Structure 1
Amino acid sequence: MEKFLLKDTIESDSILLRKHRMSDAGKIFESIDKDRARLTKFLPWPPAIKTVQDEANYIDYTHKAWEQHRLFDYSIFYNPGEVFVGSVGVLNLNWPNAAAELGYWIVGEYEGKGLVSRAVGALAAYLFEAGFFRLEVRCTEGNFRSCQVAERLGFSREGVLRGNIIENGARRNTIVYSKLATDPRGLISCT
């Protein structure tokens, strides 16, 4: 598969995925800061985002990685453009094999409303339509809500990577899910 730049925005079912903007650094930082304890339970990066400038630096990094076809990270807005609710990204891109991993997080007050499922579903649908063949979701064992997103969208549980990562000082297992372009699409939609 030839490398290409993903669209800056993807819209679906009252969800807007938009390439991070520097002007959003403050609201993204506020969301991380107020939800830090919950996010840190399963994600390794929240302790590194201590200030708005840290978030701005991360956004700058994502912009550079975007242009280099290495990472495509989106802000998730509910009621398009109105309310920031989290982030979804395409990472660990394997262009020769048309494969990538999807990662996501959501602000706690919006958890359980189906917003991440809609965002991940819209992004997955777009990627399959663009020619990707394999998408993965990796969840820390015990992060039931994250696993439910993958399962709800019809990703198949492939197995467990035992003790493959250290998060917050503890060795953890990672559950790997995948969906192929040839699999039934299920709830995945970008309309």
Structure 2
Amino acid sequence: MCKTSNEFYEMPEEVLEGERVTLAFLEPEDSEEVLYLVDSSRDSLGAWLPWVENFTEIGDAYSAISAYQMQRDMANGGAFGIRRLEDGALVGEVVLQWIDWKNRSASFGYFLGSAFEGEGLATEAMNLALGYIQNLGIHRVEISAAVENKKSCALAKRLGFEQEGIAKDAEFLHGKWQNHAKFAKIMPN
């Protein structure tokens, strides 16, 4: 779905449903659940996500969701909440970090609450998100993960992403530099 420069880009706000999870863009009213999810997984998330340390109040969650909502309104990204189908529990997020419409590329980030790891929920959620951006006409998708974050790197590989290289000293976290593995996937037409 290649658009000309005169066309307005839109990001449909549909709910994406899989076998065990749904994805829907987060809204400000989800702030309390997001904060609870981060609080309940602070140690595991904080090991790899620099923003977790300063994400301590309901206002932090509200501001983050509002910023992603603004990004979505500008049609260049947004944050999906991952919810379990069986009970509607918020178990994580898939963040469409940026869309470059001219080059039809995008990048993703993701996380799960520690209580929900190892169940395949992130794989299912990411597959739903990949289907969503494929419908938008995105051609290339990227993921960056700390080399030492074995779970995140394994997820990218499970999803069919190829490692293209290493970005040395890509992030300063917990007093030391982290190298990031750079993964990419070309979407089928």
TM-score (norm 1): 0.90
Aligned to 2:110: 104
Q: Work out which of the residue numbers 90, 93, 112 in structure 2 matches 1:87.
A: 93
1:147 aligned partner: 153
Aligned ranges 1:99-178 → 2 under 5 Å: 99-178=105-184
Match of 1:33 in 2: 39
Q: Could you tell me how far apart the structure 2 residues matched to 1:86 and 1:42 are?
A: 15
- Equivalents in 2 of 1:92, 1:17: separation in Å? 18
Equivalent position of 1:18 in the other structure: 24
Determine the C-alpha separation between the residues in 2 that align with 1:129 and 1:70.
15
Shift of 1:134: 0.3
Secondary structure, aligned partner of 1:96: coil
Contact 1:66 1:72 in 2 (8 A): yes
Which deviations, in whole Å up to 9, do the C-alpha atoms of 1:131-169 show, x marking residues without a partner?
110011111111111111111111111111111221233
Q: Using CA pairs below 8 Å that are at least 6 residues apart, which structure has the higher relative contact order?
A: 1
1:129 CA drift (Å)? 2.8
Aligned to 2:76: 70
Partners of 2:109 and 2:87 lie apart in 1 by: 21
State percent identity of aligned pairs: 23
Q: CA deviation at 1:15?
A: 1.1
Deviation at 1:107, TM superposition (A): 0.2
Shift of 1:17: 0.5
Contact 1:87 1:105 in 2 (8 A): yes
Q: Assess if the C-alpha contact under 8 Å between 1:16 and 1:81 holds in 2.
A: no
Residue correspondences, number? 183
**Offset, 1:81:** 6.3
Per the TM alignment, residue 6 of structure 1 is displaced from its structure 2 partner at its CA by 3.5
1:90-111 per-position Cα deviation (integer Å, ceiling 9, x unaligned): 1132110000001100000100
C-alpha displacement at 1:124, in angstroms? 0.6
1:98·1:133 contact (CA, 8 Å) conserved in 2?
Answer: yes
Compared CA separation, residues 161 and 142, structure 1 to 2 (3 A): same
Normalised to the residue count of structure 2, the TM-score between the two structures is: 0.91
| Unaligned residue ranges in structure 2 (runs of 5+) | 4-8
Aligned alpha-carbon RMSD (Å): 1.6
